[in-house]
């Protein structure tokens, strides 16, 4: 029964006889999966509102178009590779291969760190060129959107650090499989968010 | 999406398996301070919220002293007055009502009412409280920084919120924005718990439509909050950057003390949209748990099943959805396109339909019920009357043409205090009295409860009914003093003084409530485990108050909805949710009630 079908239940009728289990169902999804989906839902709202604010502010006359640092292209490739590595880790976790999981985890997290360093370098390039957050709202949004995205990635790296610790302490692959899968989903989500933000920044 | 439907006794739903592996506290600190038990966290949330709420209450006294007796109290300057207003509003809406309904009642009632041992993520739940406490402390700290707390009004509109002419425009506003951001982070952690627990940790047989309406109200309000608070978060972050880094997201080019500021081209209206995209759902974040709790109080104390349960659930969901498309009715005077005004006036009127439906259903629940005028019931009925009052003036203000002349008058103050000040507070009092025997294991003093109700209820009307009249006269809100304004008659000044005296009296009367709660918690008569003879699971726990893990070794199994009161043929006038049809004591001295036709085998 879907969520909305359950809303039509005539619950004032008492359940069937005691020997049978009463009606009612429980979602067969781990609680962590639902929690990660909810986190992504909230993050989607946050980023959507930033994008709406960007669109609204962009329409005003003082908006200054500028060329984003080209290092963002390299950063984007790195983040895509990070996502691929996470996917690799997921496949290996499903097949129970510890070595593959370790490789995927190290590559996924390491590349994410490289991406963050790359984003910081982009900031430095803009600042060195004399473009600060108070120079123009276009720059302010650049700093803001990249920073909020980076903070979400840092949150993901906390989960990554905990997973790496568990794997290196010898926890069975089957026990970290769900965590690896959820981290991978979150990474893919942040990649999509970045692609949208990057397109927005680049084309406007 | 796959679902698990138990088909045999040995099948155990995944949520139940997870619950077996409970965390167990071993020391005083882990049991009562850094506790992961939702019940303890609920009490921590409630104490903190009530404590900060009392600060806001005192601030309202100071405002009323100034309004009732201008030029009398030298320590209430114009700047201080605006700071009182701002802190009073923000504390009451966010740090008291939201925190108490969701963090307090949500934590205590969700696991108990759905038959779970605890929240699904107890550690995150604990973090949620401590971040909330940090947010409260940061807010309080703003009262002690140079310049004091922000005096920008609770809506924190730019540009004035961060301009130097506004009180607390230095550290005050920054601390307010930081505190709000912290609150939202903390709430999100708690909110994840409430939603996942309702979806995943219900006990066997507790289908969504067998949940008490209290849980429905808190559940939908939490989803609203998870979707609406990000707007406030985004606004707070961007305004902080405008203040700290000098960006111009919201700040237009503006002359400040005769000099052109460095800001340029920002859009103050953008902040208003963000604020109210949060702000209007916030009304329902506070109201929906109230709706749910009142439904349960009415059914229990009128010994009658709730009228139109399915409609009540659907109305909660529909109101939740509609609450996201009415926000700009707070902005009719902001210069918006009149067609937008027409759209938002229409959606505002539409949202009144499911809301009115709920009110009719409450009244029909009471109709021919066996009404017990207990203290919780008095507060529940008080809520209905007050909510209808405040709701109807909301229909006035929801229409752009009526709103324009009434905007920024005391009429608006009266409206929103009735609908989201007094009404939710009445529910909170009713709920505290109702669940007090469960939380403490003792009964409260009935006489003190009666005095508390009548003083609070009648006092609230003595305060806020006159404010409607003052608003119609044209008395503006947010004015430090009216002085000799020509169109304000002398009678308005007298009325203001009257309102202030009543406000102080009602405020002081809350000491009766506090005394009753504290005294009864230690010295009250020992409570029966189910003193109201209620059907829901929290009253069926083996221990009173419920111990860690809530239900002992076996989780309850649910066989019926939460509203089997006065069922024909049953010996008692209530059937708990965990009693199967074959075991219900009947009027003939035996056990069992006939199965409904829907469950009879087909012939």
Per residue in B542-595, pLDDT (tens digit) is 999 999 999 988 899 999 999 999 999 999 999 999 999 999 999 999 999 988
Of B91, B107, B115, which Cα lies nearest the Cα of B36? B107
Chain A hits for B583, Cβ within 8 Å: 18
pLDDT of A16 = 64
Comparing B160-164, B572-576, B599-603, the range with the smallest average pLDDT is: B599-603
Cβ partners under 8 Å of residue B600, min gap 6: none
- Give the distance between the most distant pair of CA atoms in chain B: 90
Chain A hits for B274, Cβ within 8 Å: 49, 53
Is the distance from CB of B253 to CB of A71 less than 8 angstroms? Answer: no
Chain B hits for A158, Cβ within 8 Å: none
Question: With a cut of 0.90, is the ipTM above it?
Answer: yes
Of B3, B248, B267, the CB nearest to A56: B267
Question: Which of B115, B215, B244, B248 to mutate: most A Cβ within 10 Å?
Answer: B248
Residue A77: inside a domain: yes
**Tokens 């974040």, residue located:** B285
Q: Please give the residue range of the domain that contains residue A116.
A: 31-203
pLDDT of B52 over the 70 cut: yes
Distance from CA of A133 to the nearest CA of B (A): 6
pLDDT of B345 = 96
Residue A5: inside a domain: no
Contact between chains at A144 and B238 (C-beta distance less than 8 A): yes
Distance from CA of A111 to the nearest CA of B (A): 27
pLDDT of B2 over the 70 cut: no
Contact between chains at A21 and B310 (C-beta distance less than 8 A): no
Band of residue B35 on the pLDDT scale cut at 50, 70, 90: very high
The residues of chain A scoring below 70 in pLDDT are 1, 16-27
pLDDT of B3 over the 80 cut: no
CB contact burial A34-45 (16+ within 10 A = b; e otherwise): bbbbbbbebbeb
Residue B231: inside a domain: no
Distance from CA of A4 to the nearest CA of B (A): 10
Residue B579: inside a domain: yes
Comparing B11-20, B126-135, B310-319, B478-487, the range with the smallest average pLDDT is: B11-20
- Each residue of B376-420: pLDDT tens digit? 999 999 999 999 999 999 999 999 999 999 999 999 999 999 999
A5 alpha carbon, distance to own chain's centre? 31
pLDDT of B10 over the 50 cut: no
Contact between chains at B196 and A35 (C-beta distance less than 8 A): yes
pLDDT of A95 = 96
Instruction: Give the residue on B whose Cα is nearest the Cα of A39.
Output: B192
> What average pLDDT score do residues B522-538 get?
97
Chain B hits for A26, Cβ within 8 Å: 3-4, 6, 13-15, 200, 202, 204
Higher pLDDT among residues B446 and B22, named by residue: B446
**Tokens 């506790």, residue located:** B35
Residue B561: inside a domain: yes
Residue B598: inside a domain: no
Question: Any idea what the CATH number is for the domain that residue A175 is in?
Answer: 1.20.120.80
d(CA B108, CA B39): 5
H helices present in B201-212, as ranges: none
Residue A47: inside a domain: yes
Chain B hits for A146, Cβ within 8 Å: none
pLDDT of B24 = 73
Chain B hits for A162, Cβ within 8 Å: none
Band of residue B483 on the pLDDT scale cut at 50, 70, 90: confident
Contact between chains at B209 and A3 (C-beta distance less than 8 A): no
Helix (H, G, I), strand (E, B) or coil at B4: strand
Q: Please give the residue range of the domain that contains residue B556.
A: 533-592
Distance from CA of B207 to the nearest CA of A (A): 4
pLDDT of B285 over the 90 cut: yes
Distance from CA of B559 to the nearest CA of A (A): 5
The domain tally of chain B equals 1
Dig out the tokens for B135 from the structure: 């947010």
pLDDT of B16 over the 60 cut: no
List, in sequence order, every residue forming a beta bridge with A26; answer none if it has no partner: B4
Contact between chains at B202 and A50 (C-beta distance less than 8 A): no
d(CA B376, CA B434): 5
Higher pLDDT among residues B238 and B16, named by residue: B238
pLDDT of B15 = 45
Number of cross-chain residue pairs from A and B with Cβ atoms under 8 Å apart: 187
Of B121, B234, B314, the CB nearest to A7: B314
pLDDT of A14 = 79
> What average pLDDT score do residues B320-325 get?
96
Contact between chains at B202 and A137 (C-beta distance less than 8 A): no
The domain tally of chain A equals 1
Of B195, B200, B274, the CB nearest to A53: B274
Dig out the tokens for A87 from the structure: 């996917």
d(CA A130, CA B418): 53
Distance from CA of A10 to the nearest CA of B (A): 8
pLDDT of B598 = 65
Residue B573: inside a domain: yes
Question: Which of B20, B162, B192 to mutate: most A Cβ within 10 Å?
Answer: B192
Q: What is the share, in percent, of chain B residues with pLDDT greater than 90? A: 87
pLDDT of B541 over the 60 cut: yes
Instruction: Give the residue on A whose Cα is nearest the Cα of B557.
Output: A22
Helix (H, G, I), strand (E, B) or coil at B600: coil
Question: Which of B8, B234, B304, B324 to mutate: most A Cβ within 10 Å?
Answer: B234
Average pLDDT over chain B, rounded to whole? 93
CA B475-B478-B480 angle, 5° bins: 90
3-state secondary structure B96-140: HHHHHHHHHHHHHHHHHHHCCCCCCCHHHHHHHHHHHHHHHHHHH
Contact between chains at B305 and A12 (C-beta distance less than 8 A): yes
Distance from CA of A102 to the nearest CA of B (A): 27
d(CA B72, CA B394): 34
Helix (H, G, I), strand (E, B) or coil at A27: strand
d(CA B559, CA B564): 11
Distance from CA of A88 to the nearest CA of B (A): 24
Residue A15: inside a domain: no
- Each residue of A67-112: pLDDT tens digit? 889 999 999 999 999 999 999 999 999 999 999 999 999 999 999 9
d(CA B288, CA B290): 5
Of B200, B309, B560, the CB nearest to A31: B200
Comparing B1-10, B162-171, B232-241, B341-350, the range with the smallest average pLDDT is: B1-10
Higher pLDDT among residues B28 and A184, named by residue: A184
Question: Which of A24, A45, A47 to mutate: most B Cβ within 10 Å?
Answer: A24
Question: Which of B11, B111, B205, B208 to mutate: most A Cβ within 10 Å?
Answer: B208
Contact between chains at A7 and B581 (C-beta distance less than 8 A): no
Q: What is the share, in percent, of chain B residues with pLDDT greater than 70? A: 95
3-state secondary structure B160-187: HHHCCCCCCCCHHHHHHHHHHHHHHHHH
């Amino acid at each position: 029964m879907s969520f909305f079908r359950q809303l039509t239940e005539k619950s004032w009728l008492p359940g069937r006889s005691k020997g049978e289990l009463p009606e009612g169902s429980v979602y067969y999804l781990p609680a962590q999966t639902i929690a990660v989906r909810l986190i992504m839902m909230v993050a989607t709202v946050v980023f959507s509102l930033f994008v709406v604010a960007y669109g609204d502010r962009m329409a005003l006359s003082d908006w200054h178009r500028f060329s984003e640092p080209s290092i963002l292209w390299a950063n984007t490739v790195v983040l895509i590779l990070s996502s691929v590595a996470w996917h690799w880790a997921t496949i290996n976790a499903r097949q129970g291969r510890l070595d593959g999981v370790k490789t995927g985890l190290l590559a996924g997290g390491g590349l994410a760190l490289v991406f963050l360093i790359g984003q910081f370098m982009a900031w430095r390039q803009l600042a060195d060129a004399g473009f600060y957050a108070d120079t123009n709202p276009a720059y302010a949004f650049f700093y803001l959107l990249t920073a909020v995205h980076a903070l979400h990635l840092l949150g993901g790296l906390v989960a990554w650090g905990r997973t790496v610790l568990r794997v290196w302490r010898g926890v069975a692959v089957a026990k970290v499989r769900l965590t690896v899968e959820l981290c991978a989903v979150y990474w893919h989500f942040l990649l999509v968010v970045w692609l949208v933000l990057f397109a927005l920044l680049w084309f406007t | 999406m796959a679902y698990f439907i138990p088909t045999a006794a040995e099948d155990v739903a995944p949520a139940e398996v997870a619950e077996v592996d409970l965390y167990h506290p071993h020391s005083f600190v882990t049991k009562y301070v850094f506790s992961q038990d939702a019940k303890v966290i609920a009490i921590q949330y409630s104490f903190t919220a009530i404590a900060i709420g009392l600060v806001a209450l005192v601030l309202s006294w100071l405002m009323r002293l100034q309004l009732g007796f201008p030029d009398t109290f030298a320590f209430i300057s114009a700047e201080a007055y605006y700071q009182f207003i701002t802190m009073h509003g923000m504390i009451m809406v966010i740090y008291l009502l939201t925190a108490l309904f969701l963090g307090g009642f949500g934590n205590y009632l969700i696991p108990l009412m759905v038959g779970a041992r605890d929240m699904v993520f107890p550690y995150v739940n604990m973090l949620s409280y401590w971040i909330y406490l940090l947010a409260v402390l940061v807010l309080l700290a703003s009262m002690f920084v140079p310049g004091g707390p922000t005096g920008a009004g609770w809506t924190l509109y730019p540009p004035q919120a961060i301009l130097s002419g506004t009180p607390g425009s230095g550290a005050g506003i920054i601390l307010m924005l930081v505190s709000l951001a912290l609150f939202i982070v903390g709430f999100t952690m708690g909110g994840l718990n409430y939603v996942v627990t309702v979806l995943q940790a219900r006990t066997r047989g507790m289908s969504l439509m067998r949940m008490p309406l209290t849980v429905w109200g808190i559940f939908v309000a939490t989803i609203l909050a998870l979707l609406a608070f990000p707007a406030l978060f985004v606004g707070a972050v961007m305004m902080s950057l405008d203040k700290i880094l000098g960006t111009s997201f919201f700040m237009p080019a503006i002359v400040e003390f005769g000099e052109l500021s460095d800001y340029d081209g920002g859009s103050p209206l953008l902040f208003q949209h963000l604020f109210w995209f949060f702000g209007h759902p916030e009304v329902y974040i506070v109201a929906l748990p109230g709706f749910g709790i009142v439904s349960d109080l009415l059914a229990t104390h009128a010994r009658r099943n709730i009228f139109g349960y399915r409609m009540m659930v659907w109305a909660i969901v529909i109101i939740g959805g509609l609450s996201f498309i009415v926000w700009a009715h707070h902005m009719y005077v902001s210069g918006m396109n009149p067609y937008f005004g027409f759209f938002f006036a229409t959606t505002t009127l539409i949202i009144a339909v499911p809301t009115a439906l709920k009110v009719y259903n409450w009244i029909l629940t009471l109709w021919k019920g066996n009404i017990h005028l207990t203290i919780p019931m008095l507060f529940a009925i008080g809520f209905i009357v007050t909510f209808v009052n405040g709701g109807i003036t909301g229909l006035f203000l929801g229409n752009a043409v009526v709103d324009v002349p009434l905007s920024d008058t005391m009429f608006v103050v009266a409206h929103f205090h009735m609908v989201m000040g007094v009404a939710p507070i009445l529910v909170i009092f009713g709920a505290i009295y109702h669940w007090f025997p469960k939380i403490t294991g003792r009964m409260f003093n009935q006489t003190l409860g009666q005095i508390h109700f009548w003083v609070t209820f009648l006092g609230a009307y003595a305060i806020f009914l006159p404010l409607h009249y003052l608003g119609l006269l044209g008395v503006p809100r947010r004015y430090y003093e009216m002085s000799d304004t020509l169109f304000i008659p002398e009678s308005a000044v007298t009325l203001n003084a009257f309102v202030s005296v009543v406000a102080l009296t009602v405020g002081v009367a809350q000491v009766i409530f506090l005394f009753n709660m504290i005294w009864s918690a230690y010295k009250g008569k020992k409570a029966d485990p189910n003193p109201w003879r209620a059907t829901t699971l929290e009253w069926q726990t083996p221990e009173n108050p419920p111990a860690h893990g809530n239900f002992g070794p076996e989780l309850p199994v649910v066989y019926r909805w939460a509203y089997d009161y006065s069922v024909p043929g049953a010996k008692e006038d209530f059937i708990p949710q965990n009693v199967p049809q074959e075991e219900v004591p009947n009027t003939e001295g035996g056990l069992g009630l006939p199965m409904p036709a829907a469950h009879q085998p087909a012939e």
